[in-house]
Chain A
Amino acid sequence: MTTNSNNIPMVRLAGAHKRFGETTVLEDINFQAAKGEFISLVGPSGCGKSTLLKIIAGLHSLSEGEVVVDGMNPKNAREEMAFIFQEANLLPWKRVQQNTELPLKLRGESTERRVETARKMLELVNLSHALDKFPWQLSGGMRMRVSIARALTLAPRVLLLDEPFGALDEMTRDNLNEDLLRIHARDQWTAFFVTHSAAEAVFLSNKVVVLSANPGRISQVIEIDLPKERNAELREGSAYLNYVAKVSNAIRTVH
C-alpha cells in the first residue's frame, strides 16, 4: 500500500481545469500518484469524479493544464491503462470468455494468447466455472468480476475504477474489495478508485482525495496509514474506524 521507492509519478495532474461550455467542472487540480498507489476519489455527486477519471484515461481532454500518464499524453498511454465502469459494461451478445478477451482481440493479439490470458484472469476472480455464460445469466457481482478480469487481461499499470461496486450489496462489495486488494498486492498497478463509500475508500486506499463541488477542487487529501495487509478483521479495528469517521466527516463538510 505504501508509496513505491520509484519516485517518478505514474499519473500527474498539474493546474488541470476542465470546462464543459461555460461551466467549470474541475478547477486547478494538482495531484500525482506514484507507482502502486491506491487512490480513492470521494466527493458529492456531480463534483467531477468521473470526469477526472476520463481525463486521466484520455477520454476527455483538459481545457487548461496538464495530465501525464507514465511520462506520456494519456492517449498514448492507453496500452498501459484499463477502465472499469460503474456498470459492468459487458457486451450482452458475448459469453464471459469472449467478453474477457475483447480488449486483447481489439489489440490484435493471437487467439492462443487471448484465450489463455482471459482464462487466467477469470480464474483469478473465481469465475472459471462461468466461461460459457452470457452476461444476463450472471449476478451483478459476477458481472463486475468479469469486468475486472477483462481489465486485468491488459496487465495495466494504471487502473481506473468508476464506482465499480456502487450497485452491489455490502457483502458482495466487501468480498470484491478484498479480491481487488489481493490482486493489487500481486500486480502493483496504480489505482484511481471513485466511490461514495467512506468505508470502502479507507479499506482500499493509501490516499483518499476529497473533492468539493461547483467547481470540483481538491479539498483534502487524507493519507491512510494502515498496515499493508488488509483483511476483514481490519474493519473492526479502531484505527480503521477512525479513518472512516474522518473521511465521512470530510465528505460531509464539503457539501
Chain B
Amino acid sequence: MASTSKKIQSALLPITSGAIILAVWYLISYWYGRSVGYDVQRIIIPFPHQITSALWSEREVLWQSTRQTALSALIGFVAAVSVGYALSMLLASAVWVKKALYPWVLVLQMTPVVVLAPIFVLWMGQGLPSITAITFMIGFFPVVANTTMGLVSTDRNLLDLFEMSNATKAQEILHLRVPYAMPYFLTGMKIAGTLAPIGAISGDLFAGSSQGGVGGIGYMVILYNSQLKIPELFATALVACMLGFVFVGCVNWLHWYLLKDWHDSARKVENT
C-alpha cells in the first residue's frame, strides 16, 4: 500500500539523518583524539559509545535524579496550572480586578527567575520546596496570560445568545466562558509543560541538594562537571532530553484529548 511505504519513508528519513549525525560525531571525536590525545578527547567530545556506557554505569543514580527532577517538575507544573487558572478566573471576573492586578503579575513575570532563585533558597532552603517554587514561577505566567485572554475574548454573539436566554452569571461562566477559554488555557498549559522540566533542572542548579540520596538532574550536572566526568555529563543531557520528551508528550496528549472533538487545533477530518 502507498501509505505504508510513505510511513516507512518518513520513518527512514530521521533514522538516516541520525546515523549521519552519529558518523560525523565519531569523525570529529576521532580527529580530535588523534590531534590532542584520547584522554583529553574523552573529556571534551566523548565518543557516543562512551556516553552510552556512562549512561549504563550511572543508570541507578541517573534514574533517581530523573525521578527527583520529574517530581519537582510535576509539582511545579500542577501548581502553575492550577494557581494560574484560578488567578485568571479572578482577573477575568471584572475589568477593575484585571486593571488592579495584571500589572503586578507582569512585574512578577518580568523579574528574571535567576534573580528570584537565591531569594527562594533564602526563604525555603535547599531542596524540593525551592526547586518547585522556581518551576512554578517559570510556568505560571503563560497559563495566566493565555487563560485570561481566552476568558475575556468570548464571542460577543454567544454572550448575546446567553443573555437572550436570561442566563445567570454562573451559567455564563460555566457553560460559555470556561469552555470557550479551554483552547487558550491548554495552550498556556502546553507552554508551562515545556518549561517545567527546564524549570526543575534550573531550580536544581540553584537549590539542588543531595540530602537523603541523590540530587536532581541539575545537581548531577554540577557534580559531574566538577569531577570532570564528562561522558556522564553528556549522558545526563540525554536523560534530561528524554524527560522533556515524556513530559511534553503527556501534556500534548492531554491537549489533544480535551480538544479532539471540536477544536480546529486538535481534530482530524472524519470520514463518515
Q: Which residues of A contact B (CB under 8 A)?
A: 54, 57, 59, 78-79, 81-83, 85-87, 89, 91-93, 102-103, 105-107, 134-137
Assess whether A59 is in contact with B164, with CB atoms less than 8 Å apart: yes
Assess whether A106 is in contact with B261, with CB atoms less than 8 Å apart: no
Bound: A78/B164 CA distance, A? 6
Stretch at the interface among B70-78, B155-163, B215-223, B232-240: B155-163
Assess whether B262 is in contact with A85, with CB atoms less than 8 Å apart: no
Q: Number of B residues whose C-beta is below 8 Å from A? A: 23
Assess whether A93 is in contact with B182, with CB atoms less than 8 Å apart: yes
Assess whether A57 is in contact with B261, with CB atoms less than 8 Å apart: no
**29 A-B contacts (beta carbon < 8 Å):** A54-B160, A57-B160, A59-B164, A78-B164, A78-B165, A78-B166, A79-B166, A81-B164, A83-B160, A83-B161, A83-B164, A85-B161, A86-B157, A89-B155, A89-B157, A89-B161, A91-B175, A91-B176, A91-B179, A92-B262, A93-B261, A103-B165, A105-B175, A106-B165, A106-B175, A135-B262, A136-B262, A136-B267, A137-B272
Specify which chain B residues have a CB less than 8 angstroms from the CB of A91 in the assembled complex: 158, 175-176, 179
In chain B, residues 206-226, which have Cβ atoms closer than 8 Å to a Cβ of chain A? Answer: none
Q: Which residues of B contact A (CB under 8 A)?
A: 155, 157-158, 160-167, 171, 175-176, 179, 182, 261-264, 267, 270, 272
Assess whether B179 is in contact with A93, with CB atoms less than 8 Å apart: yes
Bound: A24/B270 CA distance, A? 49
Specify which chain A residues have a CB less than 8 angstroms from the CB of B261 in the assembled complex: 93, 134
Bound: A105/B264 CA distance, A? 26
Q: Which of A57, A85, A106 has the most CB of B within 10 A?
A: A106
Residue ID in chain A nearest B261 by CB atoms: A134
Specify which chain B residues have a CB less than 8 angstroms from the CB of A105 in the assembled complex: 175
Assess whether B165 is in contact with A107, with CB atoms less than 8 Å apart: yes
Task: Tell me how far the C-beta of A219 lies from the nearest C-beta in chain B, rounded to whole angstroms.
Answer: 27
Interface of A is mostly: mixed
Specify which chain A residues have a CB less than 8 angstroms from the CB of B267 in the assembled complex: 136
Residue ID in chain B nearest A78 by CB atoms: B166
Task: Tell me how far the C-beta of A98 lies from the nearest C-beta in chain B, rounded to whole angstroms.
Answer: 10
Bound: A136/B270 CA distance, A? 10
Specify which chain B residues have a CB less than 8 angstroms from the CB of A87 in the assembled complex: 157
Residue ID in chain B nearest A95 by CB atoms: B261
Specify which chain A residues have a CB less than 8 angstroms from the CB of B164 in the assembled complex: 57, 59, 78, 81-83, 103
Task: Tell me how far the C-beta of A239 lies from the nearest C-beta in chain B, rounded to whole angstroms.
Answer: 37
Given contact pairs A85-B161, A89-B158, A106 touches B179 in the complex (Cβ within 8 A) = no
Task: Tell me how far the C-beta of A183 lies from the nearest C-beta in chain B, rounded to whole angstroms.
Answer: 19
**New A-B contacts (15) at CB < 8 Å, excluding given A78-B165, A89-B161:** A59-B160, A78-B164, A89-B158, A92-B262, A92-B263, A102-B165, A105-B175, A106-B162, A106-B167, A106-B171, A106-B175, A134-B262, A135-B262, A136-B262, A136-B267
Specify which chain B residues have a CB less than 8 angstroms from the CB of A85 in the assembled complex: 157, 160-161
Specify which chain A residues have a CB less than 8 angstroms from the CB of B270 in the assembled complex: 137
Residue ID in chain B nearest A103 by CB atoms: B165
Bound: A87/B157 CA distance, A? 9
Task: Tell me how far the C-beta of A66 lies from the nearest C-beta in chain B, rounded to whole angstroms.
Answer: 21
Specify which chain A residues have a CB less than 8 angstroms from the CB of B264 in the assembled complex: 136
Q: Which of B155, B166, B167, B182 has the most CB of A within 10 A?
A: B166
Bound: A57/B263 CA distance, A? 31
Specify which chain A residues have a CB less than 8 angstroms from the CB of B165 in the assembled complex: 78, 102-103, 106-107
Specify which chain B residues have a CB less than 8 angstroms from the CB of A78 in the assembled complex: 164-166
Task: Tell me how far the C-beta of A15 lies from the nearest C-beta in chain B, rounded to whole angstroms.
Answer: 25
